[in-house]
Chain A
Amino acid sequence: MGKTLFDKVWDAHVVDAIDNGPQILYIDKHLIHEVTSPQAFNELEERGIPVYRPNQIVATADHNTPTLNQDQPIKDELSRKQLEQLSKNCKKNNITLYQLGHKYNGIVHVMAPELGVTQPGLTMVCGDSHTSTHGAFGAIAFGIGTSQVAQVFASQCLLLTKPKSLRVSVNGKLKAGVLPKDVILYIISKLGTNSGTGYFCEYAGNVFEDMSMEGRMTVCNMSIEMGARGGMIAPDETTFSYVKGREFAPKGEDFDKKVAYWKTLPTDEDAVFDQEYSFAAEDIEPMITYGTNPGMGIKISETIPVNDNPSFKKSLAYMNFEAGESLINKPINFVFIGSCTNSRIEDFRVAAKYIKGKKKADNVTAWLVPGSKQVEHQIIEEGLKTIFDDAGFELRQPGCSACLAMNDDKIPQGEYCVSTSNRNFEGRQGQGSRTILASPLVAAATAVEGKIIDITKHLN
C-alpha cells in the first residue's frame, strides 16, 4: 500500500518507538516566541539540562508587542519584562532572535516561511497552535505546549503517537471573490470544530494546487480550528520557487538535491486515508462567521441557522444576533486586517485593489497590521501604503496585534469587529468584543461601507 505525504515525512523522523507507547519523533526546526517559552527555559535551568541544538531554534517577538512606536521602550511593564526575558534566554543559550524592530521580525508563522526556515519534508514545532501554517510547504508542523517546548529544548525530540490521516479535497473552479480564507471557513463550517481531532489533514485537489504559497498558508493555518493538529499540502513547483533564494534556503547544488527529494514526498496514488471528505469549488462563496467558534460560519448571503442547542443560543446571545437573521447591512465599527492567517503581502494586495479610489466609512476604525517587517516594506514599496493612507486606513507595525487581546490593540466591549484573524471566541479580541471572521476582501469592503455588504453583488 502506498504512503501519504504525512507518512513519508513522519516515518523519516522516527528515532525509536516505545513498546505499546509513543514514538520518538525528531524535530528539525523549533520556533519560539515570548509567551510560551519562558517557563520552558526555567524548567531546563532548574533541572540543569542544557539546550541541545540551539542552532535549530529561531526566535521572534510577536504576541506581546505594540504595533505603534516600536522604536520606543514598551510602556506595559509585564510585556516589557516578558520580551526582555526572551532576549536574555536567547542570548544565554545562543539562539537566533529577531527581536522587535529587527528587519526580520514578525509573527512567527509569517517570518519563518519568508526566511526560508520553513521547507518541505521537515518537522517543525512551536508553542503556538497555528504552527499548522507551515504545513503549506509539505512540512509536518504543529503547535505544542510549554512542557513540550522544554522537551524539544532538551532533546530536539518529542514523544508522540502517530495521528490518523484525513484528506480534504476541493476540486473545480472558485467563483470570483472567493479567497483561500473562504475555502477554509467553508470547510470548517461543514465539518465542525472537532472533526479533525486526532488527525493530521492533507488538503488536495486543483483548488489548492492553483493557490499561491500565501493562500496555502492561510488554509493550513486554520487546520487547528477544525481540531486537526496540522494540515499539509504537497510540495510542487510553486513551493520550490517560493523557497528558492530565501535567507536559509539550501543553495546551488544542495537546493537541486533537496528538490529531487521533495518531489518524492507527495501522497502515492494508492495510499489510503482514515477519513476523506471532498467538496466542489463551485459551492463555495465568500464566508462570514456569526458565532463564537470558527465552525459557526455561513455564506455571506445566507441567514443565521436556527438551532435549539443551549450552547448555540448562548453564543448568539453573546454576539447579540438572532437566529434566522441576515448579517447584511449590520453596522460595523471595527475592521482588522492582520494575524498569521491573513497578513501576508497578497492579503494587502487584495485589500488595496478593492480600496483604491474609495474612502473608509467615518464610523469605522480600520487597522491594517502586516505580519512582518518584510511585508511592511513590501506594502510601502509597492505603493499600497499610499492607497491605504488616501482611503483613511491606518497601517500599523507588525505583530499579532488585535488577534488575541494581549497587547495594546483591543476591540472595545460590545463592539463588532470584522476580522481576518482565525478565532472568534468570546473576548478573543478584547473583553466583551464580538468577532466576525472573514477574508481580507470582505473586511476591506466592510471598512469602506461601514457595514457588512453582500460582496458577491459588488464584484464586476
Chain B
Amino acid sequence: MEKFTTLKSKAIPLNIENVDTDQIIPARFLKATDRKGFGDNLFRDWRYHKDGSVNIDFILNDAQYSGKILVAGDNFGCGSSREHAAWAITDFGFKVVVSSFFADIFKGNALNNGLLPVQVSKAFLSDLLQIIASNSETELLVDLENQTISVKDSDLSEKFEIDAYKKTCMINGYDDIDYLVNNKKLIEAFEAQKIY
C-alpha cells in the first residue's frame, strides 16, 4: 500500500447525496479478476449516456475541475461490499474522498487501499462544495498527521477523526495482512482453546 501523509490538491465537487456502490462501479464491470483498470468505468452511467456518448453535464466531464480529492454529498458508499468501488476511485486518480458520512464497508475498503476517507461536518461540507463549485482552482490541504482538512488561503479548516491504528497503517503504508501473519502463534493458541 502507498504511504499517505499530506496532500495538497484541487478537488472535484460531486454534489450528490447517497452515492451508492452501484453508481461508483456498476455490477456489469465486476467481471475482471485483477484490480486494475476500474477507473475507466468509475461512475460509468453518470459519465456516459446509454449510447456511449459523454454526458457533458456530469461534473467529472467538466474540464475546469480536476484534482486528487473527490468531495461528495452526504452518505457516500452505501450498498455492496465490492472493493472494486475503492479500486475505481483510486484508479481514476483520487487519493482522498470527503463526505459528511461514509458507509462502514466502503470506509474500510478505502483505508485498505490507501484512499483516505475524510469525514467532515455537514456545514463544512456544504461550504466546501460551494467554494469549489464557484472557484475550480481552489486548493485543499489534507494533513493526516494532524487530522485536518483546510481550504488554502482561507480560515476554513476542520479536524477529522480516524482510527489510530488505521492512521499508522496509512502513514507507513502497512496493511493488516502483515500484522495478522506475524501473529500466527496467537491465532493457533486461540484455536486450541476455543470455548464454543
Task: Name A residues whose Cβ lies closer than 8 Å to a Cβ of B.
Answer: 12, 15-16, 18, 20-22, 24, 26, 35-36, 38-39, 42-43, 47, 49, 52, 63-64, 76, 78-79, 81-82, 85, 121-122, 127-129, 131, 143-148, 150-151, 154-159, 161, 193-194, 197-198, 227, 229, 261, 292-293, 309-311, 314, 404-406, 413, 423, 425-428, 431-432
Residues of chain A lying within 8 A (CB to CB) of residue B108: 144-145, 148
Residues of chain B contacted by A36 (CB below 8 angstroms): 81-83
* A405-B191 Cα distance, complex, nearest whole Å: 40
* Closest residue of B by beta carbon distance from A197: B104
The answer to the question of B80 belonging to the interface, with a C-beta cut-off of 8 Å to chain A, is yes
Binding stretch for chain A, among B2-10, B55-63, B130-138, B179-187: B179-187
CB pair A229 B104 closer than 8 Å:
yes
For the side of the interface on B, what is the size category?
35 or more
B71-96: CB near A (< 8 Å → 1, else 0) gives 00101001111111010000000000
What 1/0 flags go to B15-31 for Cβ under 8 Å of A?
01110101100111011
Min CB distance, B185 to chain A, in Å? Answer: 10
Residues of B within 8 A of A147 (CB): 83, 109, 112-113, 175-177
Chain B residues with Cβ under 8 A from A227's Cβ?
Answer: 78, 103-104
B123 contacts across to A, CB distance below 8 A = none
CA distance A280 to B81 in the complex (A): 32
The answer for the CA separation of A35 and B31 in the assembled complex, in Å, is 7
Given contacts A147-B112, A147-B175, A229-B105, contact A423 B187 (CB under 8 A): no
- A396 and B31 CA atoms in complex are apart in Å by 22
Contact: A151 with B79, CB < 8 Å? no
Interface pick from B32-40, B142-150, B152-160: B32-40
**When the two chains form their complex, are residues B32 and A78 in contact, meaning their CB atoms are under 8 A apart?**
yes
**Other-chain residue from B30, B179, B183 in contact with A35 (beta carbon distance below 8 A):** B30
In the complex, given contacts A39-B83, A146-B109, A147-B83, what are 17 additional A-B residue pairs having Cβ atoms less than 8 angstroms apart? A36-B81, A39-B33, A42-B35, A78-B31, A122-B196, A145-B109, A148-B112, A155-B181, A155-B187, A156-B187, A159-B165, A194-B78, A197-B103, A229-B105, A310-B17, A406-B28, A432-B45
Contact of B81 among A12, A21, A144, A432 (CB under 8 A): A144
- Taken residue by residue from 113 to 128, chain B's Cβ proximity to chain A (1 for < 8 Å, 0 otherwise) reads as 1000000000000000
Measured in the bound complex, the distance between the Cα atoms of B170 and A307 in whole Å is 40
Main secondary structure of the interface of A (DSSP, over half): loop
Residues of A within 8 A of B113 (CB): 147
Nearest 3 CB-CB pairs, A to B?
A21-B165, A38-B33, A147-B112
A-B contacts at CB below 8 angstroms, number = 182
Identify the interface centre among B73, B78, B109: most chain A CB within 10 Å of its CB.
Answer: B78
Report B191 CB to chain A, min CB distance, Å.
7
Inter-chain contact A127/B103, CB cutoff 8 Å: no
Residues of B within 8 A of A (CB): 16-18, 20, 22-23, 26-28, 30-35, 45, 50, 73, 75, 78-84, 86, 101, 103-105, 108-109, 112-113, 163-165, 175-177, 179-181, 183-184, 186-187, 190-191, 194-196
Pick the residue among A12, A24, A426, A432 that contacts B196 (CB under 8 A). A12
Residue of B nearest to A39 (CB): B35
- Say which residue of A155, A158, A405, A427 sits within 8 Å of B183 (CB atoms): A155
A38 to chain B minimum Cβ distance, whole angstroms, is: 4
**Min C-beta distance of B95 to chain A, whole Å:** 17
Q: Which residues of A contact B23 (CB under 8 A)?
A: 425-427
Q: How far is the CA of A404 from the CA of B152 in the complex (A)?
A: 42
Residues of chain A contacted by B183 (CB below 8 angstroms): 15-16, 24, 155, 157
| Chain B residues, CB < 8 A from A423 | 20, 22, 79-80
- Chain A residue with minimal CB distance to B20? A425
Contacts of A159 in B (CB 8 A): 165, 176, 179-180
Most chain A beta carbons < 10 A, residue from B31, B35, B81, B103: B81
Within the complex, which residue of B32, B45, B196 is in contact with A121, where a contact is CB–CB below 8 Å? Answer: B196
CB nearest to A229 among chain B residues: B104
Nearest chain-B residue to A41 (Cβ)? B33
Provide the bound-state CA to CA distance between A428 and B80, in Å. 11
